[in-house]
Chain A
Amino acid sequence: MMFIDPHAHMISRTTDDYEAMAAAGVVAVIEPSFWVGQPRTHVGTYIDYLSAIIGFERFRAGQFGIRHYCTVGLNSKEANNAELAEAVMEILPRFALKEGVVAIGEIGYDEQTELEDKYFRLQLELAKELDLPVMIHTPHRDKKRGTSRSMDVCEEHGMDPSKIIVDHNNEETVREVLDRGYWAAFSIYPSTKMGNSRMVDILTEYGAERIMVDSACDWGISEPLGVAKTARLALERGIPEEQVRLVCYQNALSAYGQSGQMSEDHWLNPAAIDQRTVYEGNSILRGGREPLVEDAAVKRNANNLIIE
């Protein structure tokens, strides 16, 4: 089965994770620009970060046969640094039209401050102008009201809910998000967001329409196999295969494919230029090297002593 992880901060992850994801069937990831753990204090570091996720990270993923896409945006935490925020807004339009940029995101609220609100709205306008989907980060704290407010603001700006993915949902937010016509994404992230057993219960209750699953794996203790493991658990618990395909693959493709930057052809039938340059495919790599996808469990075993 093929999977898409529509929220994965691969810039914070190791090559082991890429190997494990590829081996588990992940064919594409979407890397939202985010808060890197340490606040950025200069626009220059922001520019270099965005360049890294549209450039080097895309190349890195391609080496493992995984197609890499990203979203660009000013995250809610850093929106509170007005000087930085202004400068980032200046340079965002440059990055929004780069190859593989599938949305403006992840944007929204953290502490729901005035500055967060201001830059959330400005970025919604940018997405509208460029006709790009939006990925909304819903806040960790005061989540339910923060989620409702995010959608209220989208509607104030005349956004089309079918182009907006509301992420980090839980049992408390999902009904309203679906009822209002948005895509509802769930981050399978241990301890703080969703667990995959709870996720299966949600699929049982709500079905698969407009629901998608992601890992949101980042620099914290998280699970890059979140999508693949959820799919397997769902199948084991009797969720029909077609529904699993929708939430672990097709819905992400349908939602972010609206950007015109993401299509199944990219991994099933890649352009000749890509095969020569950025996408090695799932077969043996060019240049006579060994295939990079090995059994991660075997390699990481400390009793396996030989490193060549």
Chain B
Amino acid sequence: MTSKAVDLLEQWLGHRLKDDHSSWLQSQLKKVLTSNSDRELHITLGLIPRKLGREDLNLTHSELTEANNAISGWNPGDWSIDCAARIAVLCRLSEHDKEGFGDTITDLCRNADLAESIALYSGVALFPDSEQLDQQVAEGLRTNMRAVFEAIAHNNPYPANHFDENRWNHMVLKALFIDSTLAPIYGIDQRSNKELAIILCDYAHERRAAGRPVTAELWRCVGPHATNAMIDDLQLTAGSTIATEHQAGVLALSQCKDPLVQQRAHELTASYPETMAEIVNGTITWDVIYQRQQHQSGN
């Protein structure tokens, strides 16, 4: 599966790079694979942006579909040329040296500049699984640099496929904590769970106690696991005068699953017939709420 992914990467790069840049990359890759030390690897990764530039990869719609077909959830829509080239080299190295690759990743992450960190973590779903890789991704989540965190959390299938519940929950909570977003997290609905709903409601209470806004996206992970006490939070949110919050509150209420609270949730949603109609016909979804919030914040 990953070999299909690296084939795609090389194909996309091939279409975008000038011929002499493509052949430079090929010859560097050969050096990396035949060298006895890691020197060539460090030099190649360092030279890639200098030689190939840092423009966006700008994948077409059909290329993005190919990506998702190769690895479900892989969405390199934001990747740059140098990021793609670095990951392609590392993928080929991992095929060549599966055993040592975990240690290589640890070493590279320890010495990485910002763009390298982003590339390394964006590519983790394409690398062979290892204990070291798993540890390194956990380390990456501890960053204070939002772009590095988002390289792991956003448009990347690794967390959904590898994280245990605790790590997953803390990634979601941290995304909110650092003003990041939830919609680009692959598997955000599938991996939601009761424990996460409790954590997020507590977090919402803290924010409200401090007089700080609560992002509408938070309720996405609460609705399906809402308890009676959580319905109080959703009721409050549905009553908000801010459109996205109101919509999020009603949408979350409409997604309650627990038979013990469904009746109450249903009564509450019934008091917002217009919003419910939009939810039923699909004009209000979590992705729409996310996009409206992004739009409001000028992104």
Contacts and interface: CB of A to CB of B under 8 A. Distances in A.
Interface of A: 47, 51, 54-56, 58-59, 93-95, 97-100, 260, 271-274, 276-278, 284, 286-289
A287 B114 contact: no
The 6 closest A-B pairs by CB, nearest first: A97-B46, A288-B297, A277-B147, A287-B179, A98-B113, A273-B80
Contact of A47 (B54, B111, B299): B111
A55 B112 contact: yes
B190 interface: no
B77 to A, nearest CB: 11
Contacts of B115: 99, 273, 277-278
Nearest to A100: B113
B298 A260 contact: no
A59 B114 contact: yes
A98 B45 CA distance: 9
Contacts of B179: 287-289
A288 B178 CA distance: 12
Contacts of A273: 54, 56, 78, 80, 83, 115
Contact of A55 (B55, B113, B180): B113
A56 B147 CA distance: 11
Interface residues of B, number: 30
Interface string B27-57: 0000000000000001100110110001110
A170 to B, nearest CB: 35
Contacts, number: 74
A58 B116 CA distance: 13
Contacts of A100: 113
Nearest to B299: A286
A59 B180 contact: no
Interface in B37-95: 42-43, 46-47, 49-50, 54-56, 78, 80, 83
B176 to A, nearest CB: 11
B114 A99 contact: yes
Nearest to A274: B54
Given A99-B49, A260-B50, A286 B147 contact: no
Given A51-B112, A55-B112, A59-B114, 10 more contacts: A47-B110, A93-B42, A98-B46, A98-B113, A99-B115, A273-B115, A277-B115, A278-B147, A287-B297, A287-B299
